[in-house]
Every structure is written in structure tokens, then in C-alpha cells.
Structure 1
Amino acid sequence: VTDPVLRERLRPDHLPLCKRLIFSPDYYQAIQHPQARLVSNGIRAIEANGIRTVDGELHELDVIVYATGFHADAFMRPMSITGRDGVQLSEFWQERPKAYLAVTMPGFPNLFMLNGPNGPVGNFSLIDIAEHQWGYIERLMARLDAGECDAIEPSMHAMETFEEERVEAAKQTVWYRGGCVSWYLDAQGIPSSWPWNFQRFVDCMAEPDWSAFNLPAPAAASHT
């Protein structure tokens, strides 16, 4: 960027990786195009003829391309899911979406998720994540198939313990300490993703901690 003023305006005031990095081979050329103009003021409203910023200026536009209003935490929704004793999933997740190891929740027996809340999102391959989670779910379902139990769900203690550890670890990440606002953060400003490395995730998915489900270890632990 040749213009020193524009270059300074483009300089981030937060740490790298605080937000998801976007790579483009022609971003700098596009932002310096004679017909391009950088507007960094906040948006007050979208009106019929364009966007009005907080300084009162109306930026007249023919087309607006934006995606800042999506609900990153809307797992499973808009489906209506009813758990034990009539509890609605939307009520259970009213404070923040959470699940034991991003797979299952207390009060919702035999409900298993791929890429559920608090799992690795954006920092690992979603294909690898889903494959390891499916192997974990297969091990849970095997107990049902064997007739060892009628329902499987983690205890509230297991989920809350996991969530407390996850939140404390998340506060040490650049998502939390980087100085920016991003979709990684929930309504309380806590990163909602898996804060540990991929190997820890693999280890957690390798074999369920049956005590978390109030079940004894299976007699035979052979899986194919």
C-alpha cells in the first residue's frame, strides 16, 4: 500500500489470529483502486439508498454485500428438540450453547451431535473432527446395541466440569486476549471453540470416559 495514510488505517489494532485470517491475492490492489474508498466508521442504519454511518454521512450504493448478522451459535436450530421432562433445547442453551465434549448433553438421552458447541471450529479440519466424533458416538451406541442400557447421556457434573476447564483454557487464547470482537466469542465474550490442541481432541474421542455417563467400562473394548 503506497499511501501512508491508507496503510495506517488498514493496520490492525489487534493481534494476528484474533479474527479468522482471510487471504486474497488481490486485496491490496482492490483497496487502492481509484473507485474504492475505505470507510471504517460504524454503521448506524441501512437505508433505501445506501448505508448511513454513525457520523451521519449517507454512503449511496447500488448493491450491498454483507454477512454480519448470522447466528454462529445456532446449533441444531431452528429445529425444536425436546429432552427429558419436556425441557426444550432452546431453554437448555439459553445462557450459551454447551455440550459434553461437543457431542452430547445431560437431559437429552441418546442425542449425539457432530460439530456441536464447544468443539474445534475453524482451527482444525471439519472432516477430521467429524470422523473422530463419529467413532466416539459409535462407541456410545454400541452400549445401547448390546442392551447394556436403554439411554446414554452424560451427567450434569461431567458437562459442567468440562465447560469450566474449557472456559479457563479459552481465556488464555488469542481469541480472548487478542483485543478484537469476532464470531469466535459468545454473548459473554468467551471463545466458544475448543481451546486445546488437536491431539487432545483425538485423545478425548479415542475412548469415552464411562464414569461421565454413570456407566461401568464395557467388558470388551474391541471396535472396528
Structure 2
Amino acid sequence: MTRRRKQQHKSPSVIIIGTGFGGIGMAIQLQKAGIRDITLLEKAGAVGGTWRDNTYPGAACDVQSHLYSYSFEPKHDWTRKFGTQPEILDYIESCVRKHNLEPLIRFNQTVESAEFDEQTNQWQITTGAGDTFRSDVLITATGQLNRPAMPDIPGLEDFGGESFHSARWNHDINLEGKRVAVIGTGASAIQFVPEITAKAAHLDLYQRSAAWVLPKPDKTFTPLEQTLFAKLPLWDRLYRGMIYLKNEVRALAFTRFSGLLEFFANRARNEARRWVTDPDKLAELIPEYRIGCKRILISNDWYRAVNEPHVNLITGGITRFDETGVVSETGEHRPADVIIFGTGFRATEFLSPIHITGRNGVSLNEAWANGSKAFKGITVSGFPNLFMLYGPNTNLAHNSILYMLESQFRYVLSALRALSRYPGQAMDVREDRQSRYSQVVQRGLDGSVWEAGCTSWYLDEHGRNTVNWPGFTFSYRFATRFVDTADYQFLKPRSENV
């Protein structure tokens, strides 16, 4: 009898794809829940996700350090209010060391395919290294900002100089005295352009559309402040809570009362007028679209950098690249020694390029032919025991994604507890529940500032917002507080039905 009870509550085996904040945090929580059969597959040779990949000069977070960290692993000695890339990466690595996760990680394992085996109710994962893994549960933690987007402009292969994407920064190239062309003025360019302006002899900045840029309220923490955070845990939690509440209020402006954002638009305009003395540049740097429709950026040195006399702001399109530079739509040729792409990421292509196959041989690409959608941003009908972290409509414009991830950790753990009561079975979210949930989310996005008519990475090829969460983060946490098994059907392996 004792053996049977143990068997009835057997923990499922778990494979996690990715070792950024999502994958590492999920692994820690699985361990705390007593689950031991865990494997993490990482395409690179080190952990860190986007904070491992984005090492460009000036790389930093635009969410406050104390909130951009796990609630269950507080860091008291942040050096700045907004963490820099090296410090954030060090934090992730420290969490790996503390929880002894490295033995669970298989590095240099790029997942190429994952197929659900209905005979055994297991996932079979194949990697580019030629290895095959099997598990009861598959958790994807690949993030939304892991695949650099390159513009479809001909001629780059003919360019005789150096070129690279900001997410794959080439530190071996010395920009001192070089003619540099930067393509794009998004979140990454806002950070690295001021860092390279003083080095470049000449910098051409190609802007497709201007960004709303606000001052960054950054500061260094004094040793006394760090000591207080460490010695008074209650103060540390209170400080984190105050940041959370202040950020959370902004959800109202993005989703229901976008007129409130005009205050910030005026602040951005004033900041531009304060630093940019060239009237032509100033006119091009202030966006025409409604603030918030695209990602709002923060920087204290962007406008000063663009105002430099050796920086040219070019707003016309690019026709092609050639051996020595860039050719614009007007036919003007501008020479360049180095081309840097600050063109962002393919954020709406969730889980690509992994080929995922669920029940009845249906691929995830087929299931999402009309746009990505997932129940609570985590599970997809027809793909049993597949759980996504940072899936469709779970991104934020106003608060920390780690808060959303921790909500998802809890939901996944609740699902695994349900599975442990039915050994060998798989749980598949019901199509009607998924459709109803997706409709609610899309209705919530109606009237939001993201629907104001601009083109942004929040929208997929169908013009549908598959990225952002349309409300408060605490409402998402409430919605994911536990798994309601009525939302799922539990499937026995086909081998048992023979």
C-alpha cells in the first residue's frame, strides 16, 4: 500500500529549455518543491540568456535592480538603482552557484525539435549536437528577446568593412577614429550610441522612427544604503514594494487612460529641447505617434550624443549596402568602416526556430497560423505537458517581467502537483478555455495605447498584439495562483489503451 501511494505521487521528469531568468528561476523553484529529475538545455556555453548575449557598451536594465531580481533571492548590494549588464549577469550566475544548478545544465545544446509521443506521454527533444532527451514535462524559457532581427536590405555580403548586431557585439573591433553607421534607434541603440560617440570619428545614425526618451532616474547606492538593505530585510522588502507599486500605477495610463501619458510626452520634449541645439535634428527626434504606442525608453545621455556635430541623424530609408558603405533611398552614398545593427529582436516569433509537434502530428506553427495564443500565456491546446514561460501576452510595458515569471513558476508547480496525482498521464488545456481566455485578453487590449496605430514589435504580422499583458500584474498573479484542473483534460498514454 505504501509503495502504491508513493507511485501515485511520483514527480514527473522535467526538461527546461534556456538558462536566463526564466529557466534558472524555474529550476530553483522545482528543486524547492522536491523535484529532482531536472535537465536544463542551453544553446550557449554559459548561463544568462539575454544578459549573457547583450554585452554592448552601456547595456543596462530599465527596471529597478531590486525589482529586477527574484523575490526569493534578494540581492542587497546592488551598486546602482538600475542594474548594468555585468552585474545582472553576475547575479544570475550567483543563483546558479548557490543552488548548485550547473550539474543539471547541458551546455551547447541547441534544441532543434520537440515532439510529443502520444504512446508514452513524453516529450522527445532533439538538439543540434545530435543528442536526444526524453521527459514527462517540457518547459520553455527561451524568452522573447533572444533572436536578433536583421533588416532585409540587400548588399551586406558585399560590404568590405566590419558589421555586427548589437546583441552579438564584436569587442575585437576598435571603433576609434572609424566611420560608423548605426542602423536603428531602439532600446539598445539608445544605450550604446552615447558610449561609442566619443570614439567614432564620424557616426551616421539611421532612424526609421523616433523614440520617446525620458530621463533615467538612476543613481549609485552608497555603502550605508547597501548595509541597511542587508541588515534590515524588512526595509529591503519595503523598498522593493514601493518600487512595485509606483511602477504598477502606470498600467492605468497604458491600458485605459492614455491621456495621462501626455505628461511624460511633454517631459521628453523638454529633455530633447534642453540638449539638442540643431533644429533639424530636434524636429526628427520628437515622435509623431502617441507616447506609449511603442516602448518608452530612458536615458540621460541620448540627446546629448545625437547633438554632437560629428553625428548625422538620417531618417530616410536604406536602399542597399555596397562595398564601402550605405546607399539611401535618395541615392546618396555614405561611406562607413563599421556597420552596427541596433534593429532589435524577433519578439513575436515565440519558440522559433524550434520545431514543436504536439498531438496528432500538429506543429506549433500550424496551431499558431493565425497568431500566437496560449492559455494564461503558459499552455497551448494540443500540446500536453508543455509549459511556456514568458509566452504570448505576458510582456509588460510598466513593471518587472520577473514578477510575471514568478507567477508562472507558481502556476507550473501547481500543474506538476496535479500531474503527480495521475502518474503517466498528460494534461492538455481545453480548446474552449484557451479560446475564451484569448478573447478576454484581446478585449482587454482594445483601447490601450498599443492600439494607437503605430508599428511596433508588440504586433505580429497580422497586426495583432500577441506580446503585452493588458492590465495589472497582480491581476495576472491572481489568475495564475493555482491550476484549475477543469481547464484541462488528462490523457492516458496510448500504450495503455491498446
Q: Calculate the TM-score normalised by the size of structure 1.
A: 0.87
Contact 1:49 1:61 in 2 (8 A): yes
> Is this contact kept in 2: 1:100–1:154, CA < 8 A?
yes
Q: Which has the higher strand share?
A: 2
Write the letter of the residue equivalent to 1:205.
T
The answer to whether the aligner puts 1:119 opposite 2:394 as a matched pair is yes
Q: Structure 1: which 5+ runs fail to align?
A: 216-224
Q: Does 1:104 align with 2:379?
A: yes
Q: CA deviation at 1:145?
A: 0.2
How far apart, in 1, do the equivalents of 2:334 and 2:359 lie? 52
The total of aligned residue pairs comes to: 214
> Which residue identity is paired with 1:96?
G
Q: Deviations over 1:132-184 (max 9, x none)?
A: 1011111111111012881111111111111122122223211111x421111
Task: String of CA shifts for 1:13-69, please: whole Å, max 9, x gaps.
Answer: 011122112222221221111111110012222333222222222222111111326
> What are the equivalent positions in structure 2 for 1:1-224 lying under 5 Å apart?
1-68=276-343, 70-147=345-422, 150-177=425-452, 179-192=453-466, 193-214=468-489
* Matched-pair contact (CA < 8 Å) for 1:18–1:180: yes
Taking the aligned partners of 1:161 and 1:213, their CA distance within structure 2 comes to 14
Letter paired with 2:416: M
The residue type equivalent to 1:3 in the other structure is: D
Asked if 1 retains the 8 angstrom alpha-carbon contact of 2:348 and 2:458, the reply is no
Distance change in 2, residues 1:162/1:46 (3 Å): farther
SS at match of 1:37: strand
Q: Is the 8 A contact 1:81 1:88 kept in 2?
A: yes
8 A Cα contact 1:176 1:189, kept in partner: no
CA distance in 2, matches of 1:103, 1:185: 19
Looking at structure 1, the residues matched to 362 and 303 of structure 2 have their Cα atoms a distance apart, in angstroms, of 51
Report the secondary structure of 1:161's partner residue: helix
* Inter-CA distance 165–149: structure 2 relative to 1 (3 Å threshold): farther
Kept in 2: contact 1:104–1:111 (CA 8 A): yes
C-alpha separation between the residues in 2 aligned to 1:199 and 1:17? 21
Identity of aligned residues (%): 33
| Root-mean-square deviation (Å) | 2.0
Query: What amino acid does structure 1 have at the position aligned with 2:286?
Result: R
* Stretch of structure 1 that moved more, 99-108 or 4-13: 4-13
Residue equivalent to 1:218: none
Secondary structure class of the residue paired with 1:65: strand
The range that moved more, 66-75 or 123-132, is: 66-75
Pairwise CA distance, 1:101: 0.7
Say if 1:75 and 1:130 are closer, same or farther in 2 by CA, change over 3 A.
same
Q: For residues 161 and 149 of structure 1, what CA distance do their matches in structure 2 show?
A: 28
Take 2:343 and 2:382, find their aligned partners in 1: how far apart are those partners? 33
Question: Is the CA contact 1:115–1:121 (under 8 Å) kept in the aligned structure 2?
Answer: no
Check conservation: 1:121, 1:194, Cα contact below 8 A.
Answer: yes
